[in-house]
Amino acid sequence: MGVASVMVILIYGVELLLILAVSIATIAGMWKIMVKAGYNGWESLIPFYNRYILFKLSGKKKLFAFYLGISIVMAVGGIIAMAIVFVPLFGMMMEGYSSGYVKEPGFDEMFGMWAGTMFYSILSGVLSIGILVLNVLMCIGLTESFGISAGYAVGLIFLPYVFYPIIGFSKNIQYICPGGNKNMNQNYPNQNYPMGNYPNVNNSNGYYANGNYANGYYSGQTSGDQYYQNGTGQNNGGSGEI
């Protein structure tokens, strides 16, 4: 084996290791993010379903329908393009096999291959822009849901294998709710924070610390015009009296 062959093997081996490392880092980060939000980590391993959960966590659940639709159209378009390109070639091969002579591609075959290639190139280009826009919106929503700056959204878009693990493994970053503080007065029963029980956040109706205030249990906190202590209280016009 020559030196050139060894170099080629080493280059491809390094590329494969990098791809594997990037994939593992991204999956591990998504796993931890879903665990923080009350889901099972293994759900991050299921194609499309893991993306649905991320859209849901970001408060953009309705956009997943567009994401799924675009993905299906891209897959169907790829199958059609392959049929346009390869069916004529397959026909020529079969004809040559039966006659013992393979003719050169004619105008129809060449036009079919060109049309198929152009069709899929244009289709995939347009749909890829749609996927990119949806991914940007999802990443922005995720940063809002975790109460972190928009800089993390830029990182999730361009370096997901770095920023998914940062968000997932950081103890200082906690999941709030879909859309973050602006949606704190809503109820998200499918998360692991029932009855509006979201940890370490502020909202317009009071301060909820440590995530232990389900069913109106506000220990020593003032919420609106009522004061709750040890799960009991009465309306005192915000005076804080029991």
Whether residues 121 and 15 share a domain: the answer is: yes
Whether residues 143 and 221 share a domain: the answer is no
201-203/221-223 β-pairing = unpaired
Tell me, what's the pLDDT at 21? 94
Q: Which residues pair with 229 in a beta bridge?
A: 232
Q: Are residues 147 and 208 in the same domain?
A: no
Backbone angles phi, psi at 191, to 5 degrees: -95, 180
Higher pLDDT, 88 or 10: 10
* Domain limit, last residue, from 169, 202, 237: 169
pLDDT value of position 205: 41
- Lowest average pLDDT, out of 126-130, 165-169, 194-198, goes to 194-198
Verify that 93 and 207 share a domain, yes or no.
no
Do 86 and 201 lie in one domain? The reply is: no
Query: Which has more confidence, 204 or 136?
Result: 136
pLDDT in tens, 25-59: 999 999 999 999 999 999 999 999 999 999 999 99
For the stretch 127-164, what's the b/e string if a residue is b when 16 or more beta carbons lie within 10 angstroms of its beta carbon? Answer: beebeeebbebbbbbbbbbbbbeeebbebbeeebbebb
In a domain, 84, yes or no: yes
pLDDT for 184-193, tens place per residue?
A: 555 444 444 4
Confidence (pLDDT) at 166: 96
Cβ pair 208, 223 in contact under 8 A: no
Number of domains in the chain: 2
H/E stretch holding 228: strand 226-228
Residue 213 sits in the same domain as residue 106:
no
Final residue before a domain boundary, out of 118, 140, 169: 169
pTM summary value: 0.65
Q: 194-226 pLDDT, tens per residue?
A: 334 444 444 444 444 344 433 444 334 434 433
Residue 227 has pLDDT above 70, yes or no: no
93 pLDDT higher than 80: no
Which domain covers residue 200, as residue numbers? 189-228
The answer, yes or no, to whether residue 126 has pLDDT greater than 80, is yes
Same domain, residue pair 37 and 98: yes
Answer yes or no: are the C-beta atoms of 18 and 12 closer than 8 Å.
no
| One domain, residues 88 and 56 | yes
